[in-house]
Amino acid sequence: MISDINQLIEKVLIDEDTLNLRIRKLSSYINDYYKDEDTLIMVGILKGSVIFMSELAKHVKIDCNLEFMAVSSYDGTESTGNVKILKDLDVDIKDKNVLLVEDIIDTGYTLNKLKSNLEKRDPKEVRIITLLDKPERRVTEIKPDWYGFKIPNEFVVGFGLDYSQKYRNLPFIGVLKSSVYESDNK
């Protein structure tokens, strides 16, 4: 059980209703873009994208396969830039439309390397959709094709995003109080 949320969350950045409305809008973009395609492979990046991808997929009107990859590139609150694939795709993506589904693009290291890896597998195309875009922290040239919200450089949790595997189940995006993670780094 999540103890007193007010001791953990500095503020709610994006509430549940706003998230759901935006996800429906994003799904309409996906439906329009892929309307003439037979199928789409949605690739969720575990674990953070699961809630976003689930909500998005409920509103996608074309046939889609849901696939997952697990990668590791973070140490605490910072990206190391060293991307390791822990779980790869279970399907061949050659000549297929691939939509990478991410919870947040921060530095861009992980997604840049992952997209490059997938493009070497000869898909028809690889596009990116992310719930949150934090361009202020970007150190690579990667940009999402679609994004839910641009956010400031604050540490956020909820709706799939975590801190030390906690707080993913919050139904909103909240800014985590720095005292929560600073105490862990001492």
- Provide the sign of the torsion angle of the four alpha carbons 53, 56, 58, 61, taken in this order: negative
Average pLDDT value over all residues in the chain: 91
Are the beta carbons of 122 and 94 closer than 8 angstroms?
yes
In this model, does residue 143 exceed pLDDT 80?
Answer: yes
Q: pLDDT confidence of 79, banded at 50, 70, 90?
A: low
- pLDDT value at residue 1: 43
pTM for this structure? 0.90
Catalytic hit among 106, 122, 133, 184: 106
In this model, does residue 110 exceed pLDDT 90?
Answer: no
State how far the alpha carbon of 81 is from the alpha carbons of 23, 126, 158, in Å.
29, 21, 23
Closest CA relative to residue 11, chosen from 186, 181, 185, 177: 177
- pLDDT value at residue 7: 79
Closest CA relative to residue 128, chosen from 81, 136, 137, 140: 140
- pLDDT value at residue 181: 77
State how far the alpha carbon of 15 is from the alpha carbons of 4, 5, 186, in Å.
18, 14, 31
Percent of the chain with pLDDT over 90: 77
Give the pair of three-digit tokens for residue 124: 């028809």
- pLDDT value at residue 77: 52
Would you call 90 a catalytic residue per the annotation?
no
Residue 177 DSSP code: P
Domains of the chain: 17-152 (3.40.50.2020)
- pLDDT value at residue 81: 65
